[in-house]
Amino acid sequence: MSAPLSDVLVLDLTRALAGPHAAMMLGDLGARVIKVESPTGDDTRSWGPPFVDPTEGDRESTYFLSANRNKESITLNLKDAADQEVLARLVQQADVLMENFRVGVLDRLGFPVERLHELNPRLIVLQITGFGHDGPEAQRSGFDQIAQGEGGLMSLTGLTEPTKVGVPIADLLAGMNGAYGVVSALYERERTGRGRVVHTSLLAGMVGVHAFQGTKWTVAKEVPGLAGGHHPSIAPYGMFATKSAPVQIACGSEKLWQTFATAFGIDPALDGFATNPERVTRRDETIALVEDVLADLTAEEALAKLDAAGVPAGKVRTLDDVYSWDQTLSQGLLIDVEHATLGTVQLPGPALRFDDNAYAGGRAEHIAPPTLGQHNDSVREWLDELDSRG
């Protein structure tokens, strides 16, 4: 079977992370993705260290490598008439165009949505912005940490002060939402025969994942605070100290609380701790109660006992541990690709698997992130061949 999007052509005009991540997700599913870069390249090509290959002219940013697998690269100066003509030819062949310029920039370059749809009425256009394509603050630039703060996520994260998530989660969620919107629009196009514009933003991604913290305000009118290492609505559910290292325990039901308490010598009906609302109200005391019964156990001993009892628990792994873990490897979450200048490199892989493919993503084989302009000649030759066919 072919990959799910093997007949889809994507033009990726985006840079940094939100848009490139969206395009990469489609590439993982088999789409042909042509990354259109300025002559100086995507901003992330210079984001580092770390770089691979210390030679200034040849070095590759590990940041860029993380978001651009399964793509080709062509360089165009979109202020140059000849290069604008190349882009127009690409638009005529494409199924999807993705861009994350500031609002109005693509219009000023001569490619408003109206012209894009004149060139190709079936084109799906994804526009990713920082704070939305309209509204009073539409012109603001979008940067991940600013969006994490403005979108409220940082007010929920941390122990003593607002803290950003350890990855650019606003960018990544905007990219995921964008890919989801594009696939939906492609499905709709099968009925209508026409393309449409999909909008999303870093702000929308942040608000969209507030989940129960959002309804805590919108419905209950309570402003959530820092959650730290424990669940704000379930106890015990979080990270607990042992004699050697912390472990995570999730008593997500009263039955699991009873199982945990019985296994560790606590009366599950202990006055003031018998129900989840009581334990949440007395969170600090609940944490102390749990850590008291773990105090003489190492993390390994505690996890073995929790596993034997059937209580969900786990380690807090560092990334080197994650990438060497047998379970990670069994899921195809690491892929080897042949890079044009670096040779064989290993990358974190896509999160989806399909029943006809033992590897992650929809492809039988993944393509390394491209060097800058690596496919300038091949893409132009392909366009010329299409023109010669009439």
Query: What are the DSSP calls for 7-51, one per residue?
Result: T-EEEE---SSHHHHHHHHHHHTT-EEEEEE-TT--GGGG--S-E
160 burial (CB, 10 Å; 0-12 / 13-18 / 19+) is exposed
Rounded alpha-carbon distances, angstroms, from residue 7 to 28, 351, 376: 13, 21, 21
Q: Tell me: the pLDDT tens digits for 19-41?
A: 999 999 999 999 999 999 999 99
> Cβ–Cβ contacts within 10 Å for residue 58, how many?
12
387 is annotated as an active-site residue? no
Determine the average pLDDT of the residues in 232-255: 97
Model pLDDT, residue 54: 62
pLDDT in tens, 312-361: 999 999 999 999 999 999 998 999 999 999 999 999 999 998 886 655 67
Strands 124-129 and 96-99, bridge-based pairing: parallel
Q: Tokens for 57, please give them.
A: 């002219």
pLDDT of 364 reads: 81
What tens digit of pLDDT does each residue of 284-302 get?
999 999 999 999 999 999 9
Q: Which one is catalytic: 7, 43, 171, 336?
A: 171
Contact 153, 206 (CB under 8 A): yes
Instruction: With a cut of 60, say whether residue 1 has pLDDT above it.
Output: yes
Is the pLDDT score of 74 beyond 80?
Answer: yes
367 close to 69: Cβ distance less than 8 angstroms: yes
Q: What are the beta bridge partners of residue 312?
A: none
185 and 179 in contact (C-beta within 8 Å)? no
Beta-bridge partner residues of 360: 353
pLDDT of 362 reads: 78
Q: What is the CB-side half-sphere exposure of residue 279 using CA atoms within 13 A?
A: 28
d(CA 237, CA 245): 17
Residue percentage of the chain with pLDDT more than 70: 97
Confidence class for position 65, pLDDT limits 50, 70, 90: very high
Domains of the chain in start order, with CATH, are 9-209+327-388 (3.40.50.10540), 237-316 (3.30.1540.10)
Extract the tokens encoding 293.
């019964």
Element (H, E) at 156: none
169 class by beta-carbon count within 10 Å (0-12 exposed, 13-18 middle, 19+ buried): buried
Peptide bond into 50 cis (omega under 30): yes
Confidence of residue 56 (pLDDT cuts 50, 70, 90): low
pLDDT range class, residue 53, cuts 50, 70, 90: confident
Q: Give the pLDDT of residue 161.
A: 96
Work out the mean pLDDT of the chain and round it to a whole number.
95
Q: Compute the half-sphere exposure of residue 19: CA atoms within 13 Å on the CB side of its CA.
A: 32
- 52-66, 249-263, 269-283, 339-353: lowest mean pLDDT where? 52-66
pLDDT in tens, 113-154: 999 999 999 999 999 999 999 999 999 999 999 999 999 999
Q: What is the pLDDT of residue 382?
A: 97
Q: What is the mean pLDDT of residues 174-195?
A: 98
Q: Is the pLDDT of residue 58 over 90?
A: no
Q: For residue 39, say if its preceding peptide bond is cis, omega within 30 degrees of 0.
A: no
Q: State the Cα–Cα distance between residues 188 and 190, nearest whole angstrom.
A: 5
Contact 268, 257 (CB under 8 A): yes
Cβ 246 vs Cβ 240: under 8 Å: yes
**Pairwise CA distance, residues 29 & 353, whole Å:** 10
pLDDT at 360: 65
Q: Distance between CA atoms of 13 and 101, rounded to whole angstroms? A: 9
